[in-house]
Structures are given as C-alpha cells and as structure tokens.
Amino acid sequence: MFALVDCNNFYVSCERVFQPQFEKHPTIILSNNDGCIIARSNEVKQIGIPMGAPAFKYKKILKQKNVKIFSSNYPLYNDMSNRIMKILSAYSPNFEIYSIDEAFIQFNGFEYFNLRQNCISIKKKIRKWTGIPVSIGVAPTKSLAKIANKIAKKNSFKTKNIYSIDNETKKNKALKCTPIENVWGIGKKYTEKLKRNNVFNAYQFIKISDNWIKKNMSISELKLKKDLEGIIHINLNKTQTSKKSISTTRSFKDNITSLSDLEERISTYTNHCSQKLRKQNSSCNSILVFISSSTHKKTIQYRNSFIIPLPYATNSSIILNKFAFKALHRIYRKNIEYKKAGVILMDLVNSNEKQLNLFNKNINNHNNLMITIDRLNKRFGNHNLKLASQDLSETWKMYQENLSKKYTTKLSEIITVR
C-alpha cells in the first residue's frame, strides 16, 4: 500500500504555527514582489478568491473581508518542509519527497499492521512536532493514493483527513467521482481529447482499451491507466535528481529604463544562478537572458530573449556574467520601461564529467576562487562578496511588505516565549 501525505494549505499553515492568532482567520500568501496569490486558507477559498489571482485586482475585497496578507517566506517554508520530511522518513525506508508539502510512503511488509492507526500516528506526530496539519490518502498504487488524499481533504469532517481505498467498491466509487481533468498526470491537451471521446471521469478512463491509449496517447498514460486499475506501474522515485535548468526571474519594484540598471539586475541574477549551479556540482553549456516591459501599464510593450551557447561548460560567475551581458546587449531597446528580467542556465552537465576544450587551458581557472567565494558567503552571509558589476552599496531586495520573521532559520528572529 502507498500513502500520500499532503500538508493542508502549507504556506498558510507555516505562518499560523508562529502566529496562532490567525488560526481560522482568512489568510493568503503572495508570490515574489507581492504579486499573485499562491496560497489560500479555507476561509479565503469560501470567499471565492481564486488561486493565482493578482493581488491588486482583489485589493478591495481583501480589505472588506479583513484578509490577513503575508509575503512569501521561503526560508521558513523550506525549513518546515525539511522537518516534516524527516519525520515521515522514519516510518518506512520506501519514501519519496514529491514536492515541498507532499511525500509518498510505500508500506511493504505492513500486512499485519493497522495502516489507519499508523496514519493517525503520522498525522498526530507531525501536528505535535511541527504544528502543521496534514491529510493522508492510502491506496494500492500512487495514483489511487492521490485520489484518496483528495477525498480525505475534501471530506475532512467525515474522514478526519485520512482516507483509504482498500477494496474494489471504494476504488470504483472514487474513480467515478474524479473528473478526468483532476486525474494526476493527465494534462489539458489529453483532457480535451478524452472528453471528445466521452471520457469524463477516471472510471471511464480505465475502461478504455490499451490499444486506444497506445495509439492516441503515450506510454505514460498507459502506465497511469494500469496504476488506476490497482496494478503498480508508477514506482517510487527515491533518488533526488539534479535540476535540468536553473533560473532566477524577478519583477522590479519600480520600472527600469537604463541599460546600466538592467546590467546590475542581470549580473545579480546570473550570480545567484551560478551559486545554485555550483551547489549541485553542475556546469552549464548555454545561457538565456530575457527582459520584459510591464503588461499592466499602457506603455510601449516589449519582450525579448536571447540564448548564447557557451564555448565550454562552466559554473564560474565571472564567465557567465560576461556572456549574460552579451545576451542583454543584443535585446536591449532604449525608451522602454522594463518591469521584469531573468536568467536561465541550460544544458546542464555534471561538473566532474564536462567536456574539456583542447584549445582553452583556462577552463578551470576560477574553480578555487568560486569555492572560496561560496564558503565565505555561506559563513558571513550571501551578500558579503559580490562581483564588481553588482551594486556594491545596495542589496536589491524583493518587495515584501508583509514578510514574517524567519523563526526557524535566523537566530536574531527566533520566536520568543513570554
């Protein structure tokens, strides 16, 4: 049997752990630069404010309903996630972190255990040790556990946030109640195709012939069909794979028009990307830079990007900045009010396995320098050592008007008990 443990309204719950006065109070979390709504409490969902909505469009109703607004506090959320995952990993060696607030556990050899009692124990321990409420769905396969989890969460009063699909009757009922667009792993394109063929729920999907799926879909959907039938075809992924691309994109607090200001932003983003690149021991073979004007203002609209293939794979901030500037100069236009920019490092390879260049002996010239910079920044803070192309007198920060404290990751902001 598989269990999917999913934290309830995770970002909101993290804020409420340290500010319990907002328990049961309508609460939202905003994205970078306080742009869009990325997390909602159940009270906000009942008001009817949609996920992903730009906050400024709902400013009036947020004020009317006295909604508590938080800026996203990712250091706090990541730390709380790590604590929860550490608790879950103790329940079974067969364990997969699926996202920041979700994890699969496979209970092999638990035939003589009461799995519901086991799940109650997991739920209570996470609540007691971290303060985060969770929902748990149990089923013979991962895809069915996903559905069971949704049932546990949707009918929390009846299920107490734990639901198990442990027989054929429950399985068929759950599949019939799951719209095809809500099936894990079926995207928008295939949803439309299935609906054109009178497939509107998960139960109708498993009744399609294997040959039809092979002909009209892909092997992934065939595996999903078997998994939904209760035959394990989607296994745990217990290896933490490195990212295939690394990006840093931000909207600016104020519009930017000058090339020098854009260069500073691009330099900072490139430096941030290269730090993440080195952290996973990777190098990149190409870099993409993009800039964009504001889509919400009646100004000249302009958006462009440019990719530069690198002569050799590297993770040096110095080299990457050099090529990032070349890309920026190719796409920069005067008299444009720029609101957003970003850098994406692509074609990543393991730094220990990168292709060398016979005619360039300086490929690894910056290795020791980068190692030293990373060590010093880790010890004294990320913004102590910068490149000269960055603003040395000012640290650019995101617009976070409603940012809570880093209660668990910064000693000066640790919670005080009176």
Q: What is the pLDDT of residues 363-393, one digit of tens each?
A: 667 778 888 878 887 777 666 677 777 766 6
The answer to whether 390 touches 62, Cβ cutoff 8 Å, is no
DSSP 296: S
The conformation of residue 205, written as its DSSP 8-state character, comes to H
pLDDT of residue 380: 73
Per-residue pLDDT, 361: 57
Which residue's entry shows tokens 């519009």? 255
pLDDT at 341: 92
pLDDT of residue 71: 92
- What's the sign of the alpha-carbon dihedral 292, 297, 298, 299? negative
- The residues of the chain scoring below 70 in pLDDT are 112, 238-243, 296, 354-364, 381-384, 391-399
Alpha-carbon torsion (122, 154, 207, 214), positive or negative: negative
Bridge pairing between strands 162-164 and 134-139: parallel
Instruction: Indicate the pairing of strand 95-99 with strand 282-293.
Output: unpaired
**Virtual CA dihedral for 118, 121, 126, 129, nearest 10 degrees?**
-140
Which two structure tokens, joined as six digits, stand for 291?
């800039």
Give which of 169, 171, 168 is closest to 145, Cα–Cα.
Answer: 171
Residue with tokens 């941030």: 272
CB 307 within 8 A of CB 330: no
CA–CA separation, 243 and 275 (whole Å): 13
Round the CA-based radius of gyration of the chain to a whole number and report it. 25
Q: Do residues 4 and 141 touch, judged by C-beta distance below 8 A?
A: no
**What tokens does 331 get?**
């796409």
Residue 16 has which token pair? 């409420």
How far, in Å, CA of 366 to CA of 418, rounded? 50
pLDDT for 397 equals: 60
Q: Which two tokens stand for residue 161?
A: 């946030």
Residues 6+ apart with CB under 8 A from 375: none
Write the single-letter amino acid at 7: C
